[in-house]
Amino acid sequence: MTHLPYIVAAYGLTIGVAMVLSINATLRLRQARRRLAAIEQPGRTRQPS
Amino acid sequence: MPPRTDGSTLNVTQSLTARTGNLFHRYANPGRFLRMGARLQPWLTWPALVLSIIGITWGLFFSPADWQQGDSVRIMYVHVPTAWLASSGYMGIAICSVLSLVWRHPLADLAAVEIGPVGAAITAVCLATGSLWGKPMWGTWWVWDARLTSVLVLFFLYLGHIALIRAFDEPQRGYRAAAILGLAGAIDLPIIKFSVQWWNTLHQPDSITVTGAPTMSTSMLWPLGLTTLGFTLGFGAIVLARLRAAVMESRMRTILAANRGRQSAPQHNSTP
């Protein structure tokens, strides 16, 4: 398999970018959900979770 | 008196436009969208993950090597889905542009904002994996071939869209300018698609077409289909998650602005 470095680089790059995009979207959604809940129901959600 | 046919044609067109607008606006309510998005999210995320893992494992370890290209053909299983998504993502922006310009759909602008960075990243991956495939096959990382150049133009269109939509202090002006760019840039999509037919390119012609039978073995077609479907669902899941977050952030800004308005109102009234 003489082309192994090219194959590894292509798959590594694709999986890496997909993971960065997914993690970024998940964290942003989680943070937005938490902050919105804190604003909409301040009494209940200000408690540490 | 104008001919009756002109008037009725106009009425039919107006009626169709209004009905389509009503259909789209039914899903414009943020609360309804968030509820629907939350239900849809796992149906995109988990199949995307499962299909992508199966497709990548199949393509990397179990599909046959090509008689000419050898093992480097395995790059196809990540390059082709990203190429498909690069064009589809921009098509999504173009559809959002129509929804924004014609029907002023409030979610269309937010969707265009969120598709842009994901589409740009995927297009960059498409170009990079293409180069990684081209180097061992063509002996060069890059050629100014019609297919490669038109995809590079698509990448710049994405970057332009991202920059333009955030370039104005008043968001509505940015949305409008970006929607015009989104529509105008869609002309690049048929150029990408047909570049390998219109010009003599180093890039190979399409192996899968709508009308003809695929020109590749089924043992390669299956993992390619799985990764394409998996990546497409994954793209949808990421954009949906970002869009849900954007809707929540927008709602937060509205609530905070309303709270600030209420707090400042009595002080203003008390001033003689």
Whether residue B71 lies inside any domain: the answer is: yes
SS3 B256: helix
Best of A1, A13, A21, A24 to disrupt the B interface by mutation (most B CBs within 10 Å)? A21
Q: Do A6 and B132 touch (CB under 8 A)?
A: yes
Residues B98 and B95: their CA atoms lie apart, in Å, by 5
Whether residue B27 lies inside any domain: the answer is: no
Question: How high is the ipTM of this complex?
Answer: 0.85
Q: How many domains does chain B have?
A: 1
Residue B233 CA to chain centroid, in angstroms?
Answer: 12
For B71, the domain range is 43-208+216-252
Q: Compute the average pLDDT of residues A31-42.
A: 88
Q: Compute the average pLDDT of residues A4-13.
A: 95
Mean of all residue pLDDT scores within chain A: 86
Q: Compute the average pLDDT of residues B81-89.
A: 97
Provide the pLDDT for residue B244. 96
Best of A8, A22, A27, A29 to disrupt the B interface by mutation (most B CBs within 10 Å)? A29
Q: Which residues of A touch B124 (CB under 8 A)?
A: 17
- Comparing alpha-carbon positions, the chain A residue that sits nearest to B236 is A22
Residue B80, pLDDT above cutoff 90: yes
Cβ-in-10-Å burial (0-12, 13-18, 19+) of B197 comes to exposed
The listed range with the strongest mean pLDDT (B10-19, B59-68, B79-88) is B79-88
Provide the pLDDT for residue B268. 52
Q: Which residues of A touch B49 (CB under 8 A)?
A: none
Provide the pLDDT for residue A49. 37
Q: Do A26 and B244 touch (CB under 8 A)?
A: no
Q: Compute the average pLDDT of residues A11-36.
A: 96
Q: Are B244 and A24 in contact (CB under 8 A)?
A: no
**End-to-end CA, chain B:** 63
Whether residue B231 lies inside any domain: the answer is: yes
Q: Are B144 and B131 in contact (CB under 8 A)?
A: no
Provide the pLDDT for residue B2. 45
Whether residue B11 lies inside any domain: the answer is: no
Q: Are B159 and B149 in contact (CB under 8 A)?
A: no
- Comparing alpha-carbon positions, the chain A residue that sits nearest to B134 is A6
Q: Which residues of A touch B71 (CB under 8 A)?
A: 1, 3-4, 7
Whether residue B271 lies inside any domain: the answer is: no
Provide the pLDDT for residue B125. 97
Q: Do B70 and A7 touch (CB under 8 A)?
A: no
- Token reading at B204: 């190979």
Closest CA to B95 of B83, B110, B114, B112: B112
Whole-angstrom CA distances from B99 to A27, B166, B243, B245 are 29, 19, 16, 20
Whether residue B161 lies inside any domain: the answer is: yes
Provide the pLDDT for residue B108. 93
Whether residue B146 lies inside any domain: the answer is: yes
- Identify the weakest region by mean pLDDT among A39-43, B25-29, B69-73, B267-271: B267-271
Provide the pLDDT for residue B19. 64
Q: How confident is the model at residue B22 (pLDDT cuts 50, 70, 90)?
A: low
CA distance A40 to chain B (A): 8
Cβ-in-10-Å burial (0-12, 13-18, 19+) of B4 comes to exposed
Per-residue pLDDT of B234-251, as tens digits, reads 999 999 999 999 999 999
Return the CATH number at B120: 1.20.120
Q: Are A38 and B83 in contact (CB under 8 A)?
A: no
Whether residue B9 lies inside any domain: the answer is: no
